[in-house]
Structure 1
């Protein structure tokens, strides 16, 4: 495990044993408590009662103080409800520190109000008989000090509401001292005014820490704080609610924290207390957990922790927990905030880091029950400084689901003690471990920055959890010393469980500056699948999408569907890319890689690959795109598409490309060879892969398509294209440098064009040359040769000698240029006797190829030519139009003439004299 994983400490620390731990707790508690109490007192403008339990005489409440205990009797009973009313109600450790309600066991609800103008400060015990619930109402505010505790058999509700509503329509006014109209009905609602007072819980922190090996969240030193019995409800609902080092406990029960104003919160009675419902249009206030505070509903079955507010801040290593400790069902941590949820910081005492700020529903070590869920709904979710959100399992039970819905989700930064800020759905229970949970994020914008990450791994028999992300914009940006930003779904060495799947749906997905999306296996279980459906995918500066195997398990598939995909650059020794590979020592099979897009660009050293560096075989790579551009290189290697057998004995994969337009330029390549194009890596011994490309146009400009082999079996290339162009030392090659024959090349194209020393080769060094088959309408600039020259060549030679040369077969149509011509019966007269006449205003033309702006040879540049002109004077002649014969009918007048006597006469036709220009040369 790395310091990016869950709670593993990221610097060398000495874990304290129990005696060391307890020896400093007292000092820390005293210091923190005094500081917190002073701060709270100074910040409140409402006076605080000093150890006063005083009835207001409105409902018959009687208080008898004996020593440090206030015994409370009397009150008014209506059905199973018992009402008490006080003008002041406060407890301190130095005077009256216990308030004991002496109720009959038949009472279901003790309802107490404080009608005076003072805040209640509770720094002692509140007790009641039987299983009665206690509802504590003070509209002026309530502070629970570090010594505050409950000893009641039922549930507890503390509220700063103005009124308590009942099912029969009656209300209990918390501000009036007038004797109220009391009822036997159950309470159904809390009515809050425009500015309800706050509720605060103080303490010295939770003292929860993590034992890394074996992994366990240790709660043995956690103070109970304000707590209720098993499967009961503890609720704090007021204006602003703060926990400053305070602890709330409801073992496998429910903890409810609400901050609200000018609204009514509905109550529904249950066997475990109450359920609370907030109006959707409510005016919410803020909830703050600070100084290592906690709300813990863990138990044999996980309980529920619910927070409803405007802004929820979980700071200084504070934690909300609903762990599964036994064989029960999982619980729930639910945070709903109309504006924001923030997790930041860590809880440290005496330089000992205890816990980062966290939301936890894990299955603890040895537990067999199911993990709980984490549900967050807010406008902005922000976790930083090593914060953890985890539904992982360290036991036999399965982890729960983490669901975060927000406009913006951001995981940022790290902690010197706890590493990266993470969301985790891991399985760490060893051979009998359960499956990891599901992480589901839905937002308009999601950002993982400076090592923010999702972790889902397994170290045993359980499967790692899966990840589902839906966003308009998804950014994985940069990393830190503790690791890269991104998603990591992994199986560790020795594990048999498989990795989880990752599904991403986004308008725009950007990975940059070394960010990673990884699904890998180092064990015998298979890695998980990566499925991306995005509009625009951008990967740059060494960022990568990876599925890989370093063990006996197989890597799974990467499937990407996008409108545009752009990969660019590298980061030092790491190319930007998409990889489905077998790593060194990997014996499992590599993953499949499928890409479907309109436009794919791979530039400046970026790569797409299904390579193998181990004994496992690489699998296939399939790309369908309207346009593909591969260009450039970086200092350590070329841009391109690869399916090679780079090292060890594994065979290379196959490449299939289907595109309308494929461009490979400036050193880029498509390669299924068994030698590396990145860094100084020894050549592999496995067979090279095959390449099958179908495109309307394929254009190589100082680019290559390569299935050559050094030591393993040969690779083959088949290209189908209307136009195949090779320029500037471009290469199509299935050469063999080992003992295997050269591979086969099949080119099916209408036009094959090769210029400037561009070659097509199936040569061999220590074996027979391969076979090159060209089926084309025409070849331009390239031709078959026995050996390579400085021209553009097609060869299948062998260095063993000409008798070991392979075959070059060029199939072009047999076209007879004289086919279809008819021989004239006589010789044509001399040209001098040919006259071409043309009448004005007719569509006559005279064309000479190679003159007047048309070159004689399509391969030559345009030469300035002179249009031919005859400078001699044309001769003129007369031609007589015949007179139209007269008929017996009256002809229609066609013209008119003027007679010698000056009269105008209409005529049917008139002999005319017409000039013509002789368009031929008289010789």
Structure 2
């Protein structure tokens, strides 16, 4: 089409548009109008519903197009008629209008297509892509090249120095336009009707709708705020980039896995919102990856960010970098599809990781972050770094079995290994029946590590089905559960919340390691029941209906894990427990607590129990006090033929009050042994310590006082003999009016060179009453005599009326009958005693 024909077509279009405007009628077609800013301008020809785009300016393998307006109406097609040698088609929109695209965009060959409109992009529900390269839709100001040149949509009047180099970045101003993708939502469905709570891969359904690139290619939307309102983005085994950037730039790098983006130069971000079952899908035959960057990301109403690896090659990662917050809220209206981020291994290839960086992460109403293995491939890891908080709350209001969750999992029969879960944040809160952890149905489970610099709180249950809020690992099959490690200053578990590892089948439960620098508070039970809020590890018997649904054995046969706790303060109250337990034939694990103080109150317990196996051992090392009050207990019991576990307790002081107990009892087996080392043990009349067996041999209870290391109180003596007469001077007369008392601790006198200890109390025992007048006169006369006889040796002779008193023995003799008598000898050289020692009282 020559310039004259193009002008004629444009004139007709403008007149038609003006007429329709006067008639208050919206045009039924959009506009693709070229501008004249290129050396070789773009050309548009129209045939039926097809806009054919020719011309443009070539520079090497790059083809540059420039349009004043670029919109594709419903049912229409924009066809870039490029030469097949072209690798990159770079298209800018220089007018002031948003691009509305509700039809097909097509290009020849394998060229990548860049569409840049700073005013905004809207992709309607009928928008499609038919290109064999990658697609970039952006509201940036310009495309940046290696040599520093820019292809700008906001400064087109400057004649561009077009380049043959590859695009390396996008440059933004302070207020880029928004990008919107509309659609009817995802067509995800589960491959078969699921058992309650199970994990199944998706049938991804119709793949033709929405914006889609060919397998292995990149689909990128980079601009201001981004909204997917039921929209679908698909890159089978390729890469999807979603970036909401408001200033500075984003770098572009072509790789064998697609175009990667780097936003390190960006200084401000916008919001990304997925609603109405929107879908971002990089599933396929491995290597798919998804990158999301913005200020705030929300997934609502069953919207999904998905990589489902259906091939043999490993999948890529889902990476989410946010300057503020991530939210995943709710489910679809039928409660089958959660709002979620999911990276799964459906066949032989391994699943990828989910890596999230944000200020806050908030999951509600069944929202989920999950990696899963359904077959041979291993599941990916989850890594969450939230500078402020991670909060996981509640269940789906439509289907309460769908809990809000952060988890790694394996499906029933899956042989792939499960991934690990790591959360680093200031505060982790799990509320109202939500779950955080690793839960394998199949092969081995992953570990869970939580580092919370301020606190971890696990509170409450779902109010409808009483599902507890959980942080833990559980094996539901033959694979072993992973270990659980938490590090935080403050740990709070109450009202049915749980921190535990468990097994429901033949796999072993993991170990629990709790490191708390300030205080642990465990309190309460599930409302309306006696099920405690626990820290623990267990092999748990499940309901018969769940046994039938999932094929669980009648009794769990896997081993219970060990529990290790380190904290300054441990408080357990209101029926809560720190526990290791086995409901089947296996043995209970070991439980160890290192603390400055432990307080159990109102039925609080530290327990190790078995149904028929050997009781677990409990070791408590307490620097200060251990208190049990109001029917609290420390117990290592065994049912059936198992022997009771052993209890080893060391504490400075111990108190058992108000019906509290310490026991290591058994039924048929032997009672366990209880060893207690303490400086003070206080029992109320209704409290007890027992190690008994109903049918077997009783255990042994041993209470000892810790050995005192006297070596630290010894002082090295001189090797030279010392004459005590030359070293000791009695400066006061012996009388009952003067006393000198030294009281030691534990039989040892204090070292006078030591500093005073904090518990030292000064008690002044001097008699401050006035002296007898006659005695006072004696003292005064003696002082006067001393002054008048200055220079002479003076010796004080005690008055004859001084009463006798007890004198410490300093020798012994044998009387005539052969008896030994303790005696006191007066030294031969009596010391000089000045009269001034008679101080007034």
Match of 2:143 in 1: 164
- For residues 718 and 262 of structure 1, the distance between their equivalents in structure 2, rounded to whole angstroms, comes to 73
Q: For 2:364, which of 377, 384, 398 is the aligned residue?
A: 384
For the pair 1:292 / 2:277, whether they are aligned, the reply is yes
Contact 2:248 2:265 in 1 (8 A): no
3-state SS in 2 of match to 1:534: strand
- For residues 27 and 429 of structure 2, the distance between their equivalents in structure 1, rounded to whole angstroms, comes to 45
3-state SS in 1 of match to 2:597: strand
Q: Deviations over 1:278-319 (max 9, x none)?
A: 126611111111111010001121511111001111111111
TM-score, normalised relative to structure 2: 0.77
For the pair 1:128 / 2:107, whether they are aligned, the reply is yes
- For residues 618 and 505 of structure 1, the distance between their equivalents in structure 2, rounded to whole angstroms, comes to 28
For the pair 1:545 / 2:535, whether they are aligned, the reply is yes
Match of 2:814 in 1: none
The 1:908–1:63 alpha-carbon spacing in structure 2 relative to 1, beyond 3 Å, is: closer
For the pair 1:844 / 2:765, whether they are aligned, the reply is no
3-state SS in 1 of match to 2:689: strand
TM-superposed CA distance for 1:914, in Å, is 11
Match of 1:425 in 2: 408
Match of 1:601 in 2: 599
Match of 1:660 in 2: 652
- For residues 791 and 589 of structure 2, the distance between their equivalents in structure 1, rounded to whole angstroms, comes to 96
The 1:48–1:197 alpha-carbon spacing in structure 2 relative to 1, beyond 3 Å, is: farther
Contact 2:289 2:315 in 1 (8 A): no
TM-superposed CA distance for 1:712, in Å, is 2.9
Compare 132-141 and 174-183 and name the one that shifted more.
174-183
TM-superposed CA distance for 1:498, in Å, is 0.6
Q: For 1:92, which of 73, 90, 94 is the aligned residue?
A: 73
Structure-to-structure mapping, 1:700-849, within 5 angstroms: 700-702=683-685, 703-721=687-705, 842-845=733-736
Q: For 2:130, which of 151, 154, 157 is the aligned residue?
A: 151
- For residues 475 and 909 of structure 1, the distance between their equivalents in structure 2, rounded to whole angstroms, comes to 81
Match of 1:698 in 2: 681
For the pair 1:358 / 2:340, whether they are aligned, the reply is yes
3-state SS in 2 of match to 1:454: strand
Match of 1:567 in 2: 572
Q: Deviations over 1:362-395 (max 9, x none)?
A: 122xx12111111111111111011111102111
Q: For 1:611, which of 609, 612, 615 is the aligned residue?
A: 609
* Aligned CA-pair RMSD: 3.3
The 1:686–1:167 alpha-carbon spacing in structure 2 relative to 1, beyond 3 Å, is: same
- For residues 523 and 509 of structure 1, the distance between their equivalents in structure 2, rounded to whole angstroms, comes to 29
Q: For 1:624, which of 599, 612, 621 is the aligned residue?
A: 621
Q: For 2:30, which of 51, 66, 69 is the aligned residue?
A: 51
The 1:334–1:843 alpha-carbon spacing in structure 2 relative to 1, beyond 3 Å, is: same
Match of 1:342 in 2: 327
- For residues 647 and 792 of structure 2, the distance between their equivalents in structure 1, rounded to whole angstroms, comes to 84
Contact 2:626 2:651 in 1 (8 A): no
- For residues 681 and 788 of structure 2, the distance between their equivalents in structure 1, rounded to whole angstroms, comes to 69
The 1:280–1:66 alpha-carbon spacing in structure 2 relative to 1, beyond 3 Å, is: closer
TM-superposed CA distance for 1:596, in Å, is 1.0
Match of 1:74 in 2: 55
Contact 1:323 1:331 in 2 (8 A): no
Provide structure 2 residue ranges, at least 5 long, that are not aligned to the other structure: 1-25, 526-532, 541-555, 710-729, 740-770, 805-841
Contact 1:673 1:709 in 2 (8 A): yes
- For residues 82 and 286 of structure 2, the distance between their equivalents in structure 1, rounded to whole angstroms, comes to 31
Q: Deviations over 1:50-99 (max 9, x none)?
A: 411111133321111111111111111101100111111111225xx111
- For residues 344 and 913 of structure 1, the distance between their equivalents in structure 2, rounded to whole angstroms, comes to 96
Contact 1:396 1:433 in 2 (8 A): yes
Contact 1:224 1:249 in 2 (8 A): no
Match of 2:85 in 1: 106
Give the length in aligned residue pairs: 688
Match of 1:467 in 2: 448
Match of 1:411 in 2: 392
Contact 1:361 1:390 in 2 (8 A): yes
Q: For 1:64, which of 16, 39, 45 is the aligned residue?
A: 45
- For residues 94 and 391 of structure 2, the distance between their equivalents in structure 1, rounded to whole angstroms, comes to 45
The 1:109–1:274 alpha-carbon spacing in structure 2 relative to 1, beyond 3 Å, is: same
Provide structure 1 residue ranges, at least 5 long, that are not aligned to the other structure: 1-46, 571-575, 675-683, 723-747, 751-838, 849-869, 882-892, 897-905
For the pair 1:918 / 2:809, whether they are aligned, the reply is no
TM-score, normalised relative to structure 1: 0.70
Structure-to-structure mapping, 1:59-458, within 5 angstroms: 59=38, 60-94=41-75, 97-178=76-157, 179-210=159-190, 211=192, 212=194, 215-221=200-206, 224-279=209-264, 282-348=267-333, 352-364=334-346, 367-406=347-386, 407-415=388-396, 416-417=398-399, 419-430=402-413, 432-458=414-440
- For residues 421 and 451 of structure 1, the distance between their equivalents in structure 2, rounded to whole angstroms, comes to 8
Match of 1:592 in 2: 590
Match of 1:489 in 2: 473
The 1:721–1:175 alpha-carbon spacing in structure 2 relative to 1, beyond 3 Å, is: same
- For residues 803 and 321 of structure 2, the distance between their equivalents in structure 1, rounded to whole angstroms, comes to 97
Contact 1:48 1:119 in 2 (8 A): no
Match of 1:789 in 2: none
Compare 622-631 and 592-601 and name the one that shifted more.
622-631
- For residues 913 and 195 of structure 1, the distance between their equivalents in structure 2, rounded to whole angstroms, comes to 103
Contact 2:648 2:675 in 1 (8 A): yes
- For residues 792 and 654 of structure 2, the distance between their equivalents in structure 1, rounded to whole angstroms, comes to 72
The 1:844–1:291 alpha-carbon spacing in structure 2 relative to 1, beyond 3 Å, is: same
Q: For 2:511, which of 503, 525, 529 is the aligned residue?
A: 529
TM-superposed CA distance for 1:465, in Å, is 2.0
TM-superposed CA distance for 1:895, in Å, is 5.4
TM-superposed CA distance for 1:49, in Å, is 9.9
- For residues 280 and 126 of structure 1, the distance between their equivalents in structure 2, rounded to whole angstroms, comes to 31
- For residues 624 and 590 of structure 1, the distance between their equivalents in structure 2, rounded to whole angstroms, comes to 20
- For residues 632 and 915 of structure 1, the distance between their equivalents in structure 2, rounded to whole angstroms, comes to 60
TM-superposed CA distance for 1:843, in Å, is 4.9
